[in-house]
Every structure is written in C-alpha cells, then in structure tokens.
C-alpha cells in the first residue's frame, strides 16, 4: 500500500510532493515525462514561487532572461524582463529535486484510476497496479473531468517550433484580429511562435495544411517578420493544445485532492500558468495533512481548498478579461467580443473602503493544519486575511472602530507597526 500517490510531475505535483515530504509523509509520484520541447515565459514572481516551493534544481540553467516586446491595441513598447523557461531542462531538474527529497518516482502512463471509500487503484501501462490511501490528481488538463465546471470561451493554442539561426534571446506578444501570438527566440536559434485563437470562429484548415497556414499567418505579421528575420526554418513542428479557461466543480474529497491545471486552468493571457498551478498546490500539503490526521476537520479543509481555487480562478479570469478589453481595434470581432465580457462584470481590483471591512470566521492555515479563525473580509480578499507580520487583524479592526489608532497600535514592534499601518492605509483607513 502506498499512503499517498501523486499523478503528474509538473510544478504543481512536484510542489505538493516536496511539501508532503517536509511533513514526514512517504510519497510516490507517477508521471509520463513531456515528449515535446517547449518554452514558457515566466516572471521573477514565478521564479521566486518555484524557489519557495523548494524547486531549486529545476531552476538551475533552465531560465534565460529576455526583454519582452508588447504590441497591443496598435501600441508597441518594451515591457519588463521575462525569463524563458526551457521545459525539458526544467523537467529534468524537477526529477532531481524530487529524488533528493526522497520521493519515489515511477515513469509510466496511467491507464485508469478506480476509487472507492477505502482507497484508489491506479492501473499503469507495463507495470503492476498501485494502491493508494490518498490520491493527488496533478495531471493538468489531461486529468479526467469531474462534472461541468465554469468554463470560458473555447480556445486553442497552436505552438510552432523550429530551428533558426543563433542570435539574441528575446520574446514578444502581439494582438491580432482573430487572436494573439506569443513568440520567443533562444540564443541557440530555437524559435517558438504560439498563436491563440477562438475554436468556434477561427475557421482553421485541416491538419495536413495547418503548418503552412500558420507559417503564412506568421509572415503576415510585420512584428513576427522582424522578430524572426528571414533565416530558413528547419525541423518545423506544430503542437496544438487547449487553452480554454476551466475550473473543476469539485477539487477535494476525504481521500483525494486536485491541484494545478487539474483543479483550474486559466487563459494563458491572464496570468502565468506555472504561477497559478503553484497557487493551488502550495496550500495542498496542509489540506492533505488535515484530512489524514484530523478527519474531524475534513469539511473545513475541503471548504478551504475549494474556495481558494475558485477565488484564484475568478481573479485570473478577470485579469485576462481586462487585458482583452484593452484591445479596442477589433472589439466586435468574435474572438475579442467573447473574451472582453467573460467571466462577469465584477471589477478585478475593487476600491478600498475601510468602513466596508467585515470580520467573519473562516478556514485558515495554522501550525500545519486547516483551522478556523476570525478574519477580515476586504474588497480584494473576499475569503479574508487573518494576520500581517504575526498580528491578528480582526481584533485591531474592531478596536479601530471606536479607539484612536495610536492606542490600538501601541504594543506593536517597529516592523509590525510599519507593515500593519501600510495594510490599514491600503484598506482606506484614515487615522
């Protein structure tokens, strides 16, 4: 019997495995390794999150800094540096991180999973079946669906990869009449152009001529022609994948949990995929620890994970909606019209209002378990915020309704006072 089995060794599955090992659990991880080369643009925030998750080997030699150009709504500018993450190199580092942490790795394709109240049986291709007490589903978009969740406009991304001439590392994003493109070039000449389009309105040709069609669309773009130059393209490959935003209707049970893209997958424009995968995965070890060691808190732990996955999904979806709304030239074209109105009309960042803060009891993470505490509900934190720099906020907010700030904050250290005052001012508090 394997106490905990994780299916999938992307950043989400790896982060959960390392978190569980730190809590003392034996972990078996099953994964098919990526069979195609891929490159992802990530921010410094993503690199910091990967380090925080303990994925140090995965980052060694995997990320190259790149100045990113942006051409959106007819305006061109150079944005911040992004880092181009070579996924084959990154995945090799992930395996090394997992082995160093004592995670048992099995390279195999999962054929079927049978779950009952007493455990899970995992059928593997060419190997003996595994039996697990607890299952972590982290196979991304390949994970079997569980009912009908909230789903965005149907979207597909067509990744073109080829070998060009060696040059400078660079990346760019461009809006187009019927979609948008991300492009990148590595110093060794590996070139990537990913075109994201609407499934219903794109009118894509058949598979036999899709590569030529993509090449023509690339050559129609002045930015892409300038970016890639006129060098011959050799060893050209096409990989199509769904990039529809979707959240699973249930992401946690008594003996299982879903993380990363298996729980929620966002539109690639709305936020870095790796960052949102880690966002749901970093809390999972504490949720699992609670389900296994404090089963009386099972409903609280499940509520914590479900609410946070759903809230993260909506936050990323609204950020994406606002990016799409910034493109005004083709606002009535099917691609842009569908995405500028989804998922709702709620603002992505609500205006702060101290008088509207509420105190409620909600699930929180405390000492390695999901617990319950009084939290402060804010416009930007609808699930509540418990403390800042170790200072519980609910009692402070209550006191500040009737007492002067100097008296309420008098007992804090200098650092606590600085951070708590900063948080209060960000919530619209006027001393």
CATH code of residue 226: 3.30.9.100
Q: What is the pLDDT of residue 80?
A: 74
Least confident residue range of 47-51, 77-81, 219-223 = 77-81
Task: Identify the band that residue 276 occupies on the pLDDT scale cut at 50, 70 and 90.
Answer: confident
Residue 278 lies inside a defined structural domain of this protein: yes
In a domain, 87, yes or no: yes
Residues 25 and 137 in one domain: yes
User: Do 268 and 215 share a structural domain?
Assistant: no
- Answer whether residue 38 shows pLDDT above 60: yes
Is residue 337 in some structural domain? no
127 and 275 housed in the same domain: yes
Q: Is residue 144 part of a domain?
A: yes
- Average per-residue pLDDT for the chain: 91
pLDDT at 45: 85
Q: What is the mean pLDDT of residues 262-266?
A: 94
Are 144 and 273 in a shared domain?
yes
- 59 belongs to a structural domain: yes
pLDDT at 72: 95
Closest CA to 249 of 147, 400, 381: 147
In this structure, is residue 135 part of a structural domain? yes
For range 42-49, the mean pLDDT? 86
Q: Are residues 317 and 265 in the same domain?
A: yes
**pLDDT over 70 at 271, yes or no:** no
Query: What is the pLDDT at residue 17?
Result: 97
Domain boundary among 180, 210, 242: 242
Whether residues 238 and 263 share a domain: the answer is no
pLDDT tens-digit map of 118-128: 899 999 999 99
Q: Does position 207 have pLDDT exceeding 90, yes or no?
A: no
Instruction: Tell whether 213 and 259 lie within a shared domain.
Output: no
pLDDT score of 270: 65
Domain-located, residue 90: yes
Report strand pairing: 264-265 vs 2-7. Answer: unpaired
pLDDT of residue 2: 65
Q: Domain of residue 412: give its range.
A: 354-426
What confidence score (pLDDT) does residue 201 get? 86
Predicted pLDDT at 358: 94
Query: Band of the pLDDT at 232, cuts 50, 70, 90?
Result: confident
**Count: domains in the chain:** 3
Backbone angles phi, psi at 216, to 5 degrees: -65, -40
SS (H, E, C) the chain: CEEEEEECCCHHHHHHHHHHHHCCCCEEEEECCCCCCCEEEECHHHHHHHHHCCCHHHHCCCEEEEEEEEEECCEEEEEEEEEEEEHHHHHHHHHHHHHHCCCEEEECCEEEEEEECCEEEEEECCCCCEEEEEEEECCHHHCCCCCCCCECCCEEEEEEEEECCCCCCEEEEEEECCEEEEEEECCCCEEEEEEEEECCCCCCCCHHHHHHHHHHHHHCCHHHHHHHCCCCCEEEEEEEEECCCEECCCCECCCEEECHHHCEECCCCCCCHHHHHHHHHCCHHHHHHHHHHCHHHHHHHHHHHHHHHHHHHHHHHHHHHHHHHHCCCCCCCHHHHHHCCCCCCCCCCCCCCHHHCEEEEEEEEECCEEEEEEEEECCCCCCCECEECCEEHHHHHHHHCCCCHHHHCCCCCHHHHHHHHHHHHHCCCCC
Residues 310 and 385 occupy one common structural domain: no
The reply to whether 139 and 211 lie within a common domain is no
Q: Please give the residue that has the higher pLDDT: either 2 or 181.
A: 181
Q: Is residue 140 in a domain?
A: yes
221 and 134 within one domain = no
Q: Tell me: pLDDT of 23 over 90.
A: yes
Same domain, 59 and 108: yes
Greater confidence (221 vs 269) lies with 221
Domain edge (last residue) among 282, 310, 326: 326
């Amino acid at each position: 019997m394997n106490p905990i089995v994780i299916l999938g060794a992307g950043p989400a599955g790896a982060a959960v495995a390392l978190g569980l090992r730190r809590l003392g659990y034996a972990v078996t991880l099953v994964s098919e390794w990526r069979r195609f080369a891929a490159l992802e643009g990530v921010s410094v925030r993503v690199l910091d999150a990967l380090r925080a998750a303990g994925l140090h080997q995965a980052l060694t030699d995997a990320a190259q800094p790149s100045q990113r150009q942006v051409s959106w709504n007819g305006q061109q500018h150079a944005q911040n540096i992004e880092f181009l993450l070579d996924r084959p190199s990154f995945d090799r580092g992930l395996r090394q991180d997992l082995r160093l942490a004592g995670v048992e790795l099995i390279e195999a394709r999962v054929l079927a999973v049978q779950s009952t109240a007493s455990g899970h049986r995992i059928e593997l291709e060419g190997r003996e079946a595994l039996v697990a007490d607890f299952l972590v589903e982290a196979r991304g978009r390949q994970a079997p669906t569980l009912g009908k969740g909230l789903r965005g406009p149907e979207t597909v991304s067509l990744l073109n990869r080829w070998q060009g001439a060696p040059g400078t590392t660079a990346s760019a994003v461009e809006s187009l009449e019927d979609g948008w493109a991300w492009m990148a070039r590595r110093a060794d000449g590996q070139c990537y152009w990913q075109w994201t389009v609407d499934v219903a309105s794109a009118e894509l040709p058949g598979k036999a001529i899709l590569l030529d069609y993509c090449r023509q669309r690339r050559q129609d773009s002045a930015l892409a022609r300038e970016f890639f130059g006129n060098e011959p393209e050799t060893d050209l490959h096409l990989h199509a994948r769904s990039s529809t935003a979707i959240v699973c209707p249930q992401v946690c049970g008594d003996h299982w949990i879903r993380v990363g893209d298996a729980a929620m997958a966002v539109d690639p424009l709305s936020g870095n995929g790796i960052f949102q995968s880690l966002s749901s995965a970093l809390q999972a070890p504490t949720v699992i620890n609670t389900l296994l060691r404090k089963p009386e808190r099972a409903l609280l732990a499940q509520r914590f994970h479900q609410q946070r996955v759903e809230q993260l999904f909506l936050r990323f979806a609204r950020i994406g909606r606002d990016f799409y709304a910034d493109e005004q030239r083709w606002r009535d074209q099917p691609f842009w019209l569908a995405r500028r109105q989804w998922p709702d009309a709620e603002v992505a960042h609500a205006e702060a209002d101290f008088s509207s803060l509420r105190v409620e009891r909600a699930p929180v993470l405390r000492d390695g378990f999901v617990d319950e505490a009084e939290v402060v509900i804010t416009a930007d934190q609808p699930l509540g915020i418990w403390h800042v720099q170790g200072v519980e906020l609910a009692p402070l907010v209550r006191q500040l309704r009737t007492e002067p700030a100097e008296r309420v904050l008098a007992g804090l250290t200098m650092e606590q006072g600085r951070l708590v005052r900063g948080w209060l001012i960000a919530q619209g508090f006027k001393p």
